Amino acid sequence: MARIAVAGATGYIGGRLIPLLLEAGHEVRVLSRNLTKLRDVPWRDQVTAVEGSIQDFETARELCHGTELVYYLVHSMSGGAEADFERVERLCAMNLGQAAREAGVQRLVYLSGLHPHGKLSRHLASRTEVGSILMASGTPTVVLQAGLVIGSGSASFEMVRHLTDVLPVMPAPKWVMNKIQPIAIRDALHYLVGATSLPSGLNRTFDIGGPEVLRYADMMRSYAQAAGFRPPTIIPLPVLTPWLAGQWVNLVTPVPRSLAIPLVESLQHSCVTSEKDIAAFIPDPVGGLTPYKRSVELALHKIETDAVETTWATAHALSAPAEPLPSDPDWAGLTVFTDERKKTTKVPAHQVWAVVEGIGGENGYYSLPFAWTVRGWMDKLAGGVGLIRGRRSPNSLQLNDTVDWWRVETLERGHLLLLRAEMIVPGRAWLEFEVTDLGEGQGSEFRQRAIFFPRGLWGRLYWLAVLPFHGAIFKNMASRITDAAGLRGGAQ
């Protein structure tokens, strides 16, 4: 087993690679600009952490000291003509190369991007230059040149996801007809982990890509099919410059402009593998490389299983590399809308919980009953269940009970109730109640949260349409539930 360092531990690739290296028995040291980003990752206590930037040579030296292999997974993506990211990338590569040589590191592994010959975008040209600097550093270097990486949280995938979710008709730049070779995150990680066993002295680039060559437009259509949407109508427009297209992506999707512009600029090129030499050193994964549609289905796994985490900060083991991680950026993942209310009350937690567990049915929802009735009839007329199912018991609940158009999905009696909506709605919805005891004589805190995962454009429009009503309904609900709990105590 090897002593391994990873620069870029909080990045998309690094956060998924590290647990695989640990599972293989390697000793791992990680580098991050901000170690607080590692707080919730499940492997935090299994690694040695270094805080800092490769721009600082002493930090690079500390990272490389005593290690046999270093993964360099740092990319500086900046938008705007004045951004000097090329100089920063060049400096970091030179620092790492020198530090690795002085420390006697046996191999560097760098993840770059697939690119054609000839003139490249600034972003691709910079990544290519970094690979050349590392290979000339005196430390044997393997540069894996990957296509668009497909997995939840990958900037490339998020751009496809949100463009396709929101736009049934899509005016797009002519580069949507360029050929590209996407790769599933699990396959990219397969090659990265396999790099630990490559022959010593190997110093070269390898192209890695998935089993299919597609056009970007085909990727969006295939994503739509996997996600259950009607494939979008894509209209290539020659007038959209890369800069304008980047602004458009930034407007329509949550991908920030600093990422959208270099991504769009890179897509001007057809990027497919020109050689498959990697197969002679690292065999394909068992079962073969992952087809694009399957890689999308894996990335959508958490959506397809109707899962919603009861607390967004919950850290869990990495069950699949295509799923989200706590260290992923804020803009990554499925669009989610929430309405959250909190009330601190002197009423004991058990009294508040009694009201929560009795919600719905004849007890109602403690806010604008006429509005709830109207929404129930609308759902019934549309073919849904409406509010007529009621409850099994007026005062107590069991897991999987029905409560009008809700179903009990999570129940921690005395503390947490999560209801999943079974009404007809363009998306998936939950209503969550949490009661926390603040201590002897201190009362309790009541938290109420409505959660909505919109489905496509209609889901987003639906949320915007009901937003004014939510402001009144959910605010009143939180206040009246705690008021009702106080009255219940007084009646006793």
The pLDDT of residue 206 is above 60: yes
Q: What is the pLDDT of residue 72?
A: 96
- How far is Cα 336 from Cα 173, in angstroms, rounded to an integer? 28
State pLDDT tens for residues 236-245.
Answer: 777 666 667 7
Predicted pLDDT of residue 454: 86
Count of C-beta atoms within a 10 Å radius of residue 47: 21
Q: Output the pLDDT for position 315.
A: 29
Q: Is residue 57 very low, low, confident or very high in pLDDT (cuts 50, 70, 90)? A: very high
- Give the Cα separation of 150 and 16 in Å (integer): 13
pLDDT at 6 over 50: yes
- Per the prediction, the chain carries an average pLDDT of 84
Arithmetic mean of pLDDT, 320-336 = 60
pLDDT on residue 304: 41
Task: Give the span between the Cα atoms of 111 and 50, in whole angstroms.
Answer: 21
CA distance 236 to 276: 32
109 or 335, greater pLDDT: 109
Q: Write down all domains in the chain, each with its CATH number in brackets.
A: 3-304 (3.40.50.720), 337-491 (3.30.530.20)
Q: How far is CA 464 from the centre of its chain?
A: 23
Take residue 147 and report the two structure tokens written for it.
Answer: 């296509």
- The model's pLDDT over 346-394, given as tens digits with 9 standing for 90+, comes to 999 999 999 999 999 888 899 888 888 888 888 778 777 778 777 888 8
Q: What is the mean pLDDT of residues 164-168?
A: 80
> Any residues with CB less than 8 A from the CB of 14 and at least 6 apart, and which?
6, 7, 8, 30, 71, 73
Q: Residue 112 in contact with residue 183, Cβ under 8 Å? A: no
Q: Give the pLDDT confidence score for residue 81 in this predicted structure.
A: 40
More confident position, 317 or 330: 330
What is the per-residue pLDDT for 327?
Answer: 55
* 32 against 171, higher pLDDT: 32
